[in-house]
Structure 1
């Protein structure tokens, strides 16, 4: 009966709305990179300061994640997402009127807060509405997030070319927030009211070692995503590639992420034990990094392909494993909010650390070696994710 219920027309509208909401969670960051040279021609912006446009929103996402479930408990899941879309839309459209570096950074941080509120609420909502197919619909949600990044990165330069304004290239994505807001508001009756968590004081996962393990695992995996997003194109530019071709290579990697984000959770949904899938994804990432280091020019499409398939699957699977630890959707949502909060704080530092490694040692290769070692550590961490013991770790 659950599968029948999940395929009704209201559910299909809800799925479409979730996809549209998810598409809004990366354009505010992804559109900046392709337009950076045009932005720097108008606003004094060093490359180190430009890195803050990615780092600070991710950090803001981490900090605001801890507030997301509390906001949802006070206003409800539906109103929280409406509020978040408004915040993202306002932050995005404000870029039409930016005249300073500080204003650009503040708009990025504000968008990060809106993004965090949605990412705190959405996993719990998906677990509640699609309880029999959590992996499948989490994969669809996360894939839509990555798709939003790909769309913004690809089309923002086109908007710049057509309008001659980088501000329009950044601000046009407010229309996407407006579209998502319309869909979300129109089918509010399909939004489930999440069951309450057990009575008592607000549950905190800060003292639970398993919650920290999940958070560190998510953070390290997301660190590989943020680092590749920031530095893959510059790495190949240093190898003699044109900026356009290096950007296309990054776009190809993002396309592989989208494919893996759809396929991997669907495969993993067949089994409660996700350890083998996680280990394979991490080995794909390790192979991709080793290829970038040892033979970047030969098989130049293969290494981004491996990285994209690994990273694209690892992102949703990290959240799915967290959701699997608890049956109550609101408690599971609280856990994933904690996991993402700590995780994004970790991931936000990775592009900066990689940039420092590049400045000190003269090559991005040492950053790739470091991430390869991190992936090896994560494989060891995967061994502890035995589903038969989940109840022992989080009561």
Structure 2
């Protein structure tokens, strides 16, 4: 892969295109939570079944990660991402015509596969084309992902109110895929044919203990993200809030994720040992969950703010920790694809567990307590990520 440092304009347009592509990676999931009460009014869905709308695309993202890198090697990064955007666009648009829970879930899985293909390829692309500022550009990329979630969570209820249709509230985000396609298609010149490499970039990581530790760490952190995305709005609707206000609260949380996703990697970019930065993020998440459980109706903006700042910084930092382990962009890309593949399979189960807890115990509070315990475990795991020993763990 060639680096685009020599051509600032090419680098700028490529980064704008990466941001527009990344905006498509969450709306298909983030739009569901705020509209869930309306969807359940027309489509028979228990909370456990509704959790499949977040769980199955995340699981599909995990599984598709493993063939995403292979597809990129076979068809080239540019063509693979075009294919993925088309898939996300069609899956999102199809929601205009859905009448059953099965069709809704199928559209979510199709979008999840498209999302995974993009997420498998873009970290390696960023490491190769922006190698001097990987943390900074990973921050931009991840911030755009969370920006897409913020847009969908905040505006889907508003669109539903204006149009009188939750289907339009879900399907309108196909517009983002069209815009991204136009910009991405113009970047073909930035993608020379890739050199063929013999070894599978991911195969060697299945037997590596450090790769598994990174994957479990990413998975547990993403479990907090997927649960909050799926259940924060329904939790506040049960507290007596309107769907629109609950959606705006989720939008506020995802806006805080955007802020943290931009600032945290920029701060971490200056230091080789990033453990203290990650530990602070985990403490913010613990404080946010405790507030959500103990005082949901007081200091209402503080708890989503703490959660958003913590989760928003943790997502890029988990990927940056993986990228830091290896200098070779293709190997580093293989490691991040492995980490995300296993991680999303772990994270995908969490909304289902939370939905089952809600169905059985009649409240989301025990789900929030469980996630708090998980984040405490992650604090202990962070101690293991000493950069002086990276070479020893992954050669």
Q: TM-score, normalised by structure 1?
A: 0.94
Per-residue deviation at 1:228?
1.4
1:1-395 maps to which residues of 2 (within 5 A)? 5=5, 8-191=8-191, 199-200=198-199, 203-204=202-203, 205-395=205-395
CA distance in 1, matches of 2:88, 2:362: 37
1:147-172 superposed Cα distances (whole Å, 9 cap, x missing partner): 11111122223332333333222222
Residues 299-325 of structure 1, C-alpha deviation per residue, up to 9 Å, x if partnerless? 222111111100000001000110111
Aligned equivalents of 2:105, 2:189: Cα separation in 1: 37
Structure 2: runs of 5 or more not aligned = none
Please say if residues 195 and 328 of structure 1, whose CA atoms lie closer than 8 Å, have aligned partners that are also in contact: no
Q: In 2, distance between residues paired with 1:110 and 1:237?
A: 28
Evaluate the alpha carbon distance shift between residue 192 and residue 134 of structure 1 in structure 2; reply closer, same or farther with a 3 A threshold. farther
| Distance in 2 of aligned mates of 1:334 and 1:82 | 20
Aligned partner of residue 5 in structure 1, secondary structure: coil
CA change 1:150–1:275 in 2 (3 A) is same
| Structure 1: runs of 5+ lacking an equivalent | none
- Quick check: 1:129–1:192 contact (8 Å CA) kept in 2? no
Local SS of the residue matching 2:124? helix
How big is the shift at 1:202? 5.3
Question: 1:340 & 1:60 partners in 2: Cα distance?
Answer: 11
* Cα deviations by residue, 1:333-366 (Å, 9 ceiling, x for unpaired): 1111111111111111111212223334443222
Counterparts of 2:200 and 2:143, CA distance in 1: 35
Q: Structure 1 residues 203, 244: CA separation in 2 closer, same or farther (over 3 Å shift)?
A: closer
Number of equivalent positions: 393
Q: Which shifted more, 365-374 or 253-262? A: 365-374
- Evaluate the alpha carbon distance shift between residue 297 and residue 175 of structure 1 in structure 2; reply closer, same or farther with a 3 A threshold: closer
CA distance in 1, matches of 2:98, 2:39: 11
Say which SS state the counterpart of residue 363 (structure 1) adopts. coil
Distance 2:72 2:380 in 1: 35
Conserved in 2, the CA contact under 8 Å of 1:6 and 1:130?
Answer: no
The residue matched to 2:385 in structure 1 has which SS? coil
CA contact (8 A) 1:28 1:108 kept: yes
- The 8 Å contact of residues 260 and 308 in structure 2, kept in 1 or not, is answered as yes
Partner SS for 2:298: coil
Deviates more, 1:89-98 or 1:311-320: 89-98
Judge conservation of contact 2:34–2:243 (CA < 8 Å) in 1: no
Structure 2 Cα separation of the partners of residues 213 and 33 of structure 1: 31
1:174-203 CA distances to partner (integer Å, 9 max, x unpaired)? 221111011001122123666665x44555
Between stretches 308-317 and 233-242, larger displacement belongs to 233-242
- Check whether the contact 2:95–2:170 (CA below 8 A) recurs between aligned residues: yes
Distance 1:275 1:301, change over 3 A: same
Query: Could you tell which deviates more after superposition, 347-356 or 328-337?
Result: 347-356
- 283-292 or 156-165: which moved more? 156-165
Q: Structure 2 vs 1, CA of residues 3 and 272 (structure 1 numbering), >3 Å: closer, same or farther?
A: farther
For 2:160 and 2:298, how far apart are their aligned partners in 1? 33
TM-score by length of 2: 0.94
SS at match of 1:326: coil
- Helix, strand or coil at the partner of 1:220: helix
1:201-225 CA distance string (max 9 Å, x none): 5551111100000000000000011
CA distance in 2, matches of 1:323, 1:38: 41
